[in-house]
Chains A and B, each alone.
Chain A
């Protein structure tokens, strides 16, 4: 009896799984050349809607000819997966990769030099207007900017009004910022939403802090080892971050929530500010509408460096696997897709979805109801200079990881500023 039950279940299970696998397989033969696009979010349709609709549009226009399919997982898993895929030759034809990791791939000969592509498509090269320079080395043009990132603080005007706090401006200082946080806290909201679980990268608003303490001026010295990371400038900068934490800016459970949870706090009006970039604009329009404002961050009176800095930078690159060139048809499909991705039509889709594309085409702009994006465009109107890359994108993978860890350590009180910076020096020494 016992054995019968087992065998019945095993047989049933086998049958069920056969059916499941059969139904899972595509039923129709498709002549289209299929290329894979590895992306850093698990659910592109919701988390990268613009890229998703660019791909969908491309697929529709090229039906039966080319087809782009996503290989999608969250940022940390994506990075792990691409590494593993690189070791066994299963990299997707096109994939997003963090700027800190791309040079390694390039050195290992895994990436296709896209100089040919740019030479064949002079209009795209013009439209990129130098944005692509961040991703070239001795091996050539190993990547192209995925988008153009504008990063800083978004704030909820309604919550500021309720707390009786003035909106931040280009001239708001750090001390005023601390005041602002305290008053917001008193009014019963979380002043600044942030989550650290699996989201070390979600520190975009602090890139502006680093820049205002001379990151761009000193990065070469940091990298060569001439100046340690633990120096007066960065120590002052980290102290400011810890001051924000002490003022009670962050949610109590920041260690158990992720970037997405933190964003949710801002979306549903329980947090007054949230640091992020243009990729979240559409979501804010939907949830907060015209209540949303954008701000670069506080000015630091104790810093000797230029404070008039915006943050409009090339995002991480998308790269093409060198193996794609082994198959003429795949290469053709890749080139066609890139042509579309960096073309005017895709740029239009980007603007409509509140994303700044890395290309510049005339006659594209945001509509009036794109509140979040328009607030960014207004902020950009001050015409300040902008670094050629976001500070966190100028480091090697190991040091970048440590920068994230260090920043969040300071925010959560696990590290002092000096500890946090020492750890970056150690990470550099371990390379």
Chain B
């Protein structure tokens, strides 16, 4: 690579990175400005490190409860979806089918969901939840589980298919039951894909808004994205507070991203490259 091209590449890389990060930096800067300054002189720099916007946001928004709800829904949904999709993917990818058509039919049926937008489902899902008497935050669990099925099936079957058959055979020779085979033999081998799925779904549920906006009516049920929208609706004129709230929601996400960056990138690319 010649030198000129290298310098050019560095400049370009830094410029693009800056442009991508700029909106975050802008937000961070605004969060230290007073409301009046944000409106009257948008371009001015903050006068100092004024944390009153953050204090405001923390005081008016029940962060522990929002985080609690989000985490609760997240953990329950992910436990259910992992269990059921791992089992079904095991069947699809590892078990013998007399008819291969049936196998691809089940697989195709479960994959179909990737192209279905949640918006067509919102109102019907609300009615179905009412029918099962699932309300408030509990009404989010099943839609989240269902929304994850296609993606999980895609990733899990792809991964499990690639595992060597001999392992199962050896286990069966040793007299393993079906449960032993799934839990003690296959699951440990699928650790990395399971981790990817967990992280991916945590992010999905963390950020999900459309379902939350229809299911959640009581402030005590609000998840993070719903809380964010509510806060914006409630304190429309507290621009500083809204910005501070957004920063407070972003930061844990970025930390989470920093911790699991590798898995996140792997998961997202695996889903796309294989799909």
Contact = CB atoms under 8 A, between A and B. Distances in A.
Are A and B a genuine interacting pair, yes or no?
Answer: yes
Interface of A: 2-3, 5-6, 10, 13-14, 16-21, 23-24, 42-43, 47, 71-74, 77, 81, 84-85, 87-88, 90, 198, 258, 260-261, 263-264, 268
Contact of A13 (B74, B127, B199, B233): B74
Contact of B75 (A14, A263, A264): A14
A10 B263 CA distance: 16
Given A2-B192, A3-B191, A16-B67, A10 B237 contact: no
Contact of B64 (A2, A23, A85, A260): A23
A87 B39 CA distance: 42
A87 B123 CA distance: 11
A3 B199 CA distance: 11
B55 interface: no
B135 interface: yes
B69 interface: yes
Contacts, number: 80
Interface in B1-54: 36, 39
A289 to B, nearest CB: 18
Contacts of B199: 6
A260 B236 contact: yes
Nearest to B192: A2
Contact of A42 (B36, B39, B218, B234): B234
Interface in B187-233: 191-192, 194-195, 198-199, 214, 217-220, 230, 233
B220 A24 contact: yes
A402 B148 CA distance: 39
Going nearest first, the 10 A-B pairs with the smallest beta carbon separation are A20-B68, A42-B234, A260-B236, A17-B72, A17-B71, A88-B130, A264-B237, A74-B233, A43-B234, A13-B71
B217 A10 contact: no
A36 to B, nearest CB: 10
Contacts of A14: 71, 75
Interface residues of B, number: 35
Q: Is the interface of A mostly helix, strand, loop or mixed?
A: helix
B90 interface: no
A81 B218 CA distance: 10
B170 to A, nearest CB: 23
B76 to A, nearest CB: 9
18 contacts: A2-B263, A3-B194, A6-B198, A10-B198, A13-B71, A13-B75, A17-B68, A18-B72, A20-B65, A20-B68, A21-B72, A42-B233, A84-B126, A87-B127, A258-B236, A261-B236, A263-B237, A268-B39
A5 B192 CA distance: 12
Contacts of B69: 17, 20-21
A334 B236 CA distance: 32
B97 interface: no
B99 to A, nearest CB: 36
A3 B191 CA distance: 7
Contacts of B235: 43
B217 A24 contact: no
A73 B230 CA distance: 8
Name which of B78, B199, B217 has the most chain A CB atoms within 10 A of its CB. Answer: B217
Contacts of B39: 264, 268
A72 B218 CA distance: 8
Contacts of B220: 24
A260 B74 contact: no
B230 A42 contact: yes
Contacts of B74: 13
A107 B208 CA distance: 36
Contacts of A6: 195, 198-199
B75 A17 contact: yes
Contacts of A268: 36, 39
Contacts of A84: 126, 214, 217
A27 to B, nearest CB: 14
A39 to B, nearest CB: 12
Contact of B237 (A74, A85, A261): A261
B234 A24 contact: no
